[in-house]
Amino acid sequence: MKVEVLLSTYNGERYLNELLESISDQKFNGDIELLIRDDGSSDKTFQIVDSWKNKLNIKFIKGKNLGPRDSFGELIKHANLDFDYFAFCDQDDVWFDNKLDFAIKKIRGMNRTLYFSNVQLVDSDLNPLGSNRDRIRPVLSLEGVITANPALGCTMVMDRELMRELKQVKLTPFFMHDVAAIMLAASTGHIKYELQPSMMYRQHIESVTQGHDFWKNIKNKVDFWFFQPNISISKEVDEILTNFEENINDDHTKDVLIQVKNYRQGINRFKLAVNKKFRVNSTASNRSFILRVILGVA
């Protein structure tokens, strides 16, 4: 059994050793290859990666700065389909030692299946913040996934067939690698979730501070909704319908995708906005989805 871990690095010298040590410590009865693409680092990231080549099986790609979306897009292009399973990883993660083993046991024998998990929230120095990201299980229906992506990409593990599909998806500023992966799994396969955390997830002071700035959050959301190019859930589902229709789970799934694809036509946006199946456990996420649909910017 072989797993390929996809990691994009960028000036990661502060945290990278802790991540690589946690991958090296995995209690996993199989082979792990770490596929790393560096996104134009100017610090000691390369030297740190090189120092781990005696302990980890590392394949390294040195690239120019593309940003997270396109860097992970390049990693997906280079993912080796000779492997059985694939995992995404961020450079400031710290994995628990059973992360891979537990995930693969949950999806072994299944086809087109995505696993993701909860995370333990910690500060930049790995001090626990006293809570996990999810307090209850997220909504995993296709409608729920469309309303608000419940998954952190850094916890995702998937099988070969789902990665094969993911390789065919055109990523956009909104259709990130993790969003595309869970949308595919919800449409053509299966999703497995674990409420127990699989890793420590750093909350850097910048993101914590920004999270409490109400008006800055509002401005960022308005800018994101109205001024980002290619942001369109309807285009995302159209791509799935166009490229993977033969793999779609059932008629209900197809109907949901068609409804979202055509939501801007006539009164369809209001029908979608009031459809209570498009609801998750977060009031803020529900309100955001409804508003974006009514305004036609979802």
pLDDT for residue 215: 64
Average pLDDT over residues 181-206: 92
- Tell me the whole-structure pTM to 2 decimals: 0.90
Residues 123, 19 share a domain? yes
Contact 116, 155 (CB under 8 A): yes
| Lowest pLDDT segment from 81-85, 157-161, 245-249 | 245-249
Tokens of 117: 């998990």
- Among the ranges given (18-27, 111-120, 166-175, 265-274), the one the predictor scored with the smallest mean pLDDT: 166-175
Q: Is 191 helix (H, G, I), strand (E, B) or coil?
A: strand
What pLDDT score does 211 carry? 45
* pLDDT reported for residue 221: 55
User: Residue 119 pLDDT more than 50?
Assistant: yes
pLDDT, average across residues 22-39:
96
- Domain termination residue (choose one: 158, 183, 205): 205
Q: Give the count of domains, the chain.
A: 2
Same domain, residue pair 242 and 139: no
Q: In what order do the strands lie in the sheet with 199-202?
A: 94-95, 199-202, 120-122, 128-132
**Residue 138 shares a structural domain with residue 237:** no
What is the span of the domain harbouring residue 242?
213-295
Q: Are residues 79 and 43 in the same domain?
A: yes
- pLDDT for 297: 81
The answer to whether residues 243 and 282 belong to one domain is: yes
Q: Please give the pLDDT value at position 254.
A: 95
Pick the closest to residue 237 from 200, 286, 159, 184 (CA basis).
184
* Judgement on whether residues 8 and 73 belong to the same structural domain of the protein: yes
Q: Which of 152, 167, 80 is nearest to 119 (CA)?
A: 152
Whole-number pLDDT of residue 263: 94
Do 219 and 118 share a structural domain?
no
Determine the Cα–Cα distance for residues 60 and 79; give it in Å rounded to an integer.
12
* H runs (alpha helix) in the chain: 16-24, 45-51, 68-78, 99-107, 142-147, 160-166, 177-188, 205-211, 214-227, 233-244, 251-261, 268-274, 283-295
Say what percent of the chain tops pLDDT 70.
90
* Same structural domain, 193 and 270: no
